[in-house]
Amino acid sequence: MMQMLTNTLVAATLVTGGQGGAGVGPELEKIVESNGATAALARVSDGERTWSGTAGVRDIKRGGRPSPNGYFRIGSVTKTFVATVVLQLVDEGKVRLDDPVDQYLPGLVPGGERITVRRLLNHTSHLYDYMSEPGYSTNRWRGDARFRSYQPRELLKVAFAEELPDDGKWHYSNTNYVVLGLLVEKLTGRSYGEEVRRRILRPLGLRHTVVPGDQAGVPAPHAKGYEPIPQLVDATRMNPSLDWAAGEMISTAADLERFMSALLGGKLTSAASLRAMRTPVETGAGFGYGLGLQAYTLPCGTVWGHSGELIGYLTFAFRSDSGKSMTMSINPSTRNPSTQEVMGIAVKAFCGTTG
């Protein structure tokens, strides 16, 4: 089976000059060959020229080349879409970043009179992550329970039954973005998903980005996602409502590139709101975290965007201020790719070096 996984490397559509994108293809192939992925795709652009390529197989039983235009679950990159909607509402004067969430959702969040909207957006609220509870993480195999439907307030009930220790540390928590999804609904009278579609997907023409709700499947074409338990099992189909506004969305590399370019290019929010999004707090996790944006320091400068994980799929969508972008989807195999492998690809894409 694993021999089949190494037989495909599809390179280049519109090729960049030299390093950058062209150097990414062999790195994708290495990850597949070392059982870090069953499939992988990447798209690298400098704003004028674009490289896209894939490695691995679409299906470990039937083979087939992954499509560079394939759909994938983007996991927590969803948070950047939600944060963008919230900052647009800030621009419209419907909410302020330093207002307590209790002002808009009274009585919903324990300590909500002290937790501001900003603290939800940058994960400094110190709210317990409901996905830390057994059976509540879409990053782990859940058997038939993966088709169950969840409601946002049901997830918050799980989260608010626990408290984090008062350790003064930064804590990434999916709970924050479930609360933010409800905040969007309260302020607009529409679901967070409809606001994402109305404010971002339709204006930008992101026709291949989906807010799936209770839909279990991934649109075609796509590479299947697997989970080792310990043999690889097909984890592609699942009800993503357990992630909701924290990570349910599906997209493509081209759509994510367009979204990040529009956002970081100042086309979706005011300049002040974008500055707020790009003001990171220290996390101790190898990156800074702004308002729905991660900041990674590479040898050639800082890149902005977000990563995402949802069982069977890893996503990375980043852009530099010079206009270069890299979007990558990896379907893990018997192991997840290491941080060193992923950041090595980022260095090649953005810096044009081996790092």
Q: Evaluate whether 184 touches 82 at the Cβ level (below 8 Å).
A: yes
- Percent residues over pLDDT 90 in the chain: 91
Judge whether 125 counts as a catalytic residue: no
Query: Average pLDDT in the 170-191 region?
Result: 98
Give the model confidence (pLDDT) of 247-277 as tens digits: 999 999 999 999 999 999 999 999 999 999 9
Total number of domains constituting the chain: 1
Which residues partner with 325 through β-bridges?
45, 319
pLDDT of residue 22: 66
Domain that holds residue 275: 69-323
Distances, alpha carbon 124 to alpha carbons 135, 171, 192, 225, 281, in Å: 25, 7, 22, 32, 9
Do the domain assignments include residue 22? no
pLDDT of residue 66: 97
Confidence class of residue 352 from pLDDT cuts 50, 70 and 90?
confident
Q: Evaluate whether 19 touches 352 at the Cβ level (below 8 Å).
A: yes
d(CA 199, CA 88): 9
Do the domain assignments include residue 222? yes
Q: How many helices (H) and strands (E) does the chain have?
A: 11, 13
Q: Respond yes or no on whether the N-terminal peptide bond of residue 219 is cis (omega within 30° of 0).
A: no
Do the domain assignments include residue 31? no
d(CA 228, CA 351): 34
Do the domain assignments include residue 35? no
pLDDT of residue 75: 98
Please tell me the pTM assigned to this model. Answer: 0.94
pLDDT of residue 7: 31
Give the model confidence (pLDDT) of 277-301 as tens digits: 999 999 999 999 999 999 999 999 9
Do the domain assignments include residue 19? no
pLDDT of residue 10: 34
pLDDT of residue 23: 84
Q: Evaluate whether 262 touches 85 at the Cβ level (below 8 Å).
A: no
Q: Check which CATH number belongs to the domain holding 257 and give it.
A: 3.40.710.10
Q: Evaluate whether 217 touches 35 at the Cβ level (below 8 Å).
A: no
What average pLDDT is seen over the chain? 93
Helices 24-33, 339-351: inter-axial angle, 10-degree rounding = 170
pLDDT of residue 311: 96
Q: Which residue bears the tokens 């919230």?
A: 86
pLDDT of residue 166: 87
Give the model confidence (pLDDT) of 29-42 as tens digits: 999 999 999 999 99
pLDDT of residue 13: 37
Do the domain assignments include residue 94? yes
Query: Average pLDDT in the 93-112 region?
Result: 98
Q: Which residue bears the tokens 């990159």?
A: 77
Q: Which two tokens stand for residue 257?
A: 């590139």
Do the domain assignments include residue 250? yes
- Which among 45, 76, 251, 273 is annotated as catalytic? 76
Do the domain assignments include residue 140? yes
pLDDT of residue 20: 56
pLDDT of residue 34: 97
d(CA 159, CA 185): 20
Whether residue 320 has pLDDT greater than 70: yes
Give the model confidence (pLDDT) of 5-22 as tens digits: 333 333 333 333 334 576
- Burial zone of 107 (CB within 10 Å; 0-12 exposed, 13-18 middle, 19+ buried): exposed
